[in-house]
Amino acid sequence: MKWYFLFFSVLLSTVIFAQADVVVISSKGKVWYQKSNTDAKKTLIPGQKIKALGALSLDDNSQVTLLSSGKTYQLYESGTHQLNKVIPAESQKKMGFGSRFWSFLTDGLINSDNKHTLDEYHKQHMSVAGGVKGFAGPDLALSPLLPTYGKLGPGVIEFQWTPIEQKEIIYQFDIVKTSGKKLIYRALYKPSLVKVDLRPLVLSDEENYQWIVKALDRKTMTVIDSIMPAAPVEFQYILNTDMAIAESLEYVEGYEEGDEYTRSWMEAVAMEQEGFPYLAYRRFLKLRIMHPEDLLIKKLFAAFLVRHNQLDAAQEMLEQ
Amino acid sequence: MIKRFIHIFFQPHAVFITALIWLFIILLNSIRLNLHFLDPFNNGLKDYELTDIASSRFRDPEDIMLREDIVLINSGKPDRVRLQQMIERLQSFEPAVIGIDILFEGDKNPDSDTLLAKAFAQKKNIVLATRLTDYNQEKDVFEVDNNLNPLFLENAAALGYVNFISKDLRTVRLVSPQEKTDQGIAEAFAVQITNQYSPQAVQDLKKRNKAVERINYRTPQDRFITYDYTQVIDSTFDLSYIKNKIILLGFLGVDDWSIPVKDRFFTPLNADYTGKTLPDMYGLVIHANIITMILDRTYIYDVPAWMGRLIEILFCYFNVIFIHWIYRKFPEPFHGITRGVQILEFILVFLLISVLFHYFDIRLDFATGIFALVLIYDFVMIYESLIVNRFKWLQRLT
């Protein structure tokens, strides 16, 4: 019995000791390993086993995947990395558009898995995006409902905001030039949405613009002070949207070979990444109608909505 | 004692209810109504098996072993000159076998084609990929892709088809070790590679005499040592690790962070098992998993259909006895107790199926048994309120 105990103890300690090893799973470019400052740098080779001591040096555009204690660690950033720091925490990733595209996509898909992850994803995004895109805080009564900010393409844009439950109300919708606040377009509307064709407004793609909604008393036509207006929502007018998105997608693997469905959702993701959230919204909406049962579209769209402060709509969609 | 046993476990009413449930299931199966409300799973769940959860979620990443006898090499999108350089360099480090998961269609440059064919012929350890195309129903054979260049095929040690048994966007679960073709018996790519490395393992596979094998996915891509083509053609880069190993050369993407759709498939390891998301595994890694399964003899054992059905019927029968007993003894809380029991049994059955699959590689298809369990409550109610009262001879049964 004692012999068995000794045998298993030795075996166990061997296993534990072996787990401290780091195995190089794969590498690209130039990656060196230096055991200590006095040792010479040696090229790291896939399959090589090293201790979690010393440092790794990566050249530009190099990368390495390490396996230690059943976990993989990937290094992308050029420079010197101390192994004892790398192993517990995965390093920051340096990514091009193609890489960012897939990373962004995977992130969204993982986070739209269930209500809880969606909530966390929303919090995480709002803490980054708060105030930047014109998302209204809870103290503002008027806030945009559609992602009509960032880059807007030519054509008819539907601007929507939260409706106010008062009978004697009318909305004043303005588009102004950001610099100098020159008024470009003004309209008064009863419903809480307006469709504007941007083409006749002769907007320049070198200027920034804002749209602002205020609630007016219908009789006096004065601004109702008790209703806070939406923060001005900044946008740019881009004439050639197709080209901008097509250029980005050139770097995304699988796009060229993809079927219409694949290309369509990839375009939607690229539109958002390239700063065209409204175009992306329209595309996701279309895909959702065409493929109501498609889980991928559902999750992508939900993640999109969360990123654009539409948590309730995203949750409702996932529950369908 | 025996009398008491018979009294408890042989109950004519339970036999009738069980028979009714199974008649209903058989009827539903044979009619195959295309009605959505009778379909227990929607489209998103059709391509899903209970054991997928065990494959994708239950495995501790720390338990997944590094696979050192197989080395993957990412070919990128190579031209034939680069491939020839790669093959020659790889051969100089004496790998046991090189499987090339690339389809060589037609002629390109005569010089580079000749040099590549020569590189293939250099050592008889190269397995090339072929593809089965149309199935000829009359002759019961597949046709081998005619577009593949015979110059290369003739110089390989062996040829293996790379087709997987899966419709588009469906999970790859099965591999067919061999198929009849218009050119004779053809073997799968992974089988041919394994045959070069360990003929005994392939003999053992053939002894199983199964038309298709369920793939036991044990190793994700990050547990295979992987080289990039740039390292292979770099004459200063040490490749001695590959000596006597199985080399699988094929497309693994061009960017490590990207998840290209090209040559990627859905597998049971996909964490999003409930619907269509992104394909999770390259074809090359699937071949590697098939090879590891053959080498390690870690096959998945499907419980025979007749045994599975018998277990399901017995499961249904004993549940009918139990639920019928609850109905008679506790008519008031019958609904609550029954639903509680059903939920508990779902969990236990799921646990049992997962344990069998995870620890013993035994796969039990229990979908009909679960469906029967769902129906028991309603059939006991129907039987008691509509059937028994109408037939006096049924009332006389004890």
Per-domain residue ranges of chain A: 2-94, 96-320
Chain A residues close to B223, C-beta within 8 Å: 25, 67
What's the rounded Cα separation, in Å, for the pair A308 and B268? 33
Among A19, A24, A45, the residue to mutate for chain B (most B Cβ within 10 A): A45
Q: Is the pLDDT of residue B4 over 80?
A: no
Residue B253 contacts A, CB cutoff 8 Å: yes
Q: How far B287 CA sits from the closest chain A CA (Å)?
A: 18
Domain ranges across chain B? 9-39+302-396, 61-299
Cα torsion B174, B176, B251, A113 to 10°: value is: -10
Side-chain half-sphere CA neighbours of B62 within 13 A: 6
Chain B residues close to A27, C-beta within 8 Å: 228, 231
Chain A residues close to B254, C-beta within 8 Å: 253
| Domain A96-320 of CATH type 2.60.40.10 | yes
Smallest CA–CA distance from A65 into chain B, residue = B222
Kindly indicate whether the ipTM for this predicted assembly is greater than 0.85, answering yes or no: no
Q: How far A295 CA sits from the closest chain B CA (Å)?
A: 6
Give the pLDDT of residue A139. Answer: 46
Determine, for residues A109 and B44 on separate chains, whether the beta-carbon distance falls below 8 Å.
Answer: no
Determine, for residues B61 and A43 on separate chains, whether the beta-carbon distance falls below 8 Å.
Answer: no
Q: How far B73 CA sits from the closest chain A CA (Å)?
A: 10
Q: What is the pLDDT along chain A (320 residues), one digit of tens a residue?
A: 333 333 334 333 333 333 347 899 999 888 999 887 777 888 999 998 888 778 889 988 888 999 887 888 888 888 888 887 777 644 333 455 666 677 677 777 777 777 777 777 777 666 544 333 444 444 446 777 888 888 888 888 999 888 887 778 888 999 998 888 889 899 888 888 889 988 888 888 888 898 988 888 888 888 887 777 767 888 888 887 777 777 777 767 778 777 888 888 888 888 888 888 999 999 999 999 998 888 888 888 988 888 888 888 888 887 87
In order, the DSSP letters of B81-130 are: HHHHHHHHHHHTT--SEEEE----BS---HHHHHHHHHHHHHSS-EEEEE
Residue B222 contacts A, CB cutoff 8 Å: yes
Determine, for residues A254 and B262 on separate chains, whether the beta-carbon distance falls below 8 Å.
Answer: yes
In order, the DSSP letters of B187-232 are: EEHHHHHHHHH-HHHHHHHHHT--SSEE------GGGEEEEEHHHH
Average per-residue pLDDT in chain B?
85
A193 in helix, strand or coil?
Answer: strand
Exposed e or buried b for every residue in A18-50, given b needs 16+ CB within 10 A? eeeebbbbbbbbebbbbeeeeeeeeebbbbbeb
Q: Is the pLDDT of residue B260 over 80?
A: no
Exposed e or buried b for every residue in A81-120, given b needs 16+ CB within 10 A? bebeebbeeeeeebbebbbbbbebbeebbebbbeeeebee
Q: Give the residue from B304, B374, B306, B308 showing the smallest Cα distance to B341.
A: B374
Chain A residues close to B64, C-beta within 8 Å: 70
For B78-133, how does the pLDDT look when each residue is reduced to its tens digit (9 = 90+)?
889 999 999 999 999 999 999 999 999 888 888 889 999 999 998 889 999 999 98
